[in-house]
Amino acid sequence: GESVGLHLPTLSVQEGDNSIINCAYSNSASDYFIWYKQESGKGPQFIIDIRSNMDKRQGQRVTVLLNKTVKHLSLQIAATQPGDSAVYFCAENERGSNYKLTFGKGTLLTVNP
């Protein structure tokens, strides 16, 4: 899509497989994390969030895992579908701040039918 950087990490999976998208963050003061999906030509769309007092949260077909020790976040998508093809961003928010989300660079997920 036109909003995607030229050197995004990419993940290519087969339809029906599970996908795991990873994200590293650096701010130890961040206590709220969100995954967004951005399809070509559209704005980011909220998928799932997690607060730092949790290490796992599940949604519909998606699971977010948070490892605060190594400052790592992952998004797992079960039974990936062609409609899941998009750029996925993790975002973090610092404790006590307003919604000044800091976004990661994004990962391009391509689902092959």
Partner 1 sequence: DSGVTQTPKHLITATGQRVTLRCSPRSGDLSVYWYQQSLDQGLQFLIQYYNGEERAKGNILERFSAQQFPDLHSELNLSSLELGDSALYFCASSLTATQNTGELFFGEGSRLTVL
100 binds partner 1 (CB under 8 A): yes
The nearer residue to partner 1, 17 or 51, going by C-beta atoms, is 51
The site map against partner 1 for 31-60 (x = CB under 8 A) is -x-x-x----xxxxxx--x-----------
Which residue, among 79, 14, 3, has the nearest Cα to 45 in the 3D structure? 3
The nearer residue to partner 1, 36 or 111, going by C-beta atoms, is 36
DSSP per residue, 43-91: --EEEEEEETT-SEEE-SSEEEEEETTTTEEEEEESS--GGG-EEEEEE
99 binds partner 1 (CB under 8 A): yes
Which residue, among 72, 75, 74, has the nearest Cα to 28 in the 3D structure? 72
Residues in contact with partner 1, counted by CB under 8 A, come to a total of 28
Residue of 54, 79, 105, 112 that binds partner 1 (CB under 8 A): 105
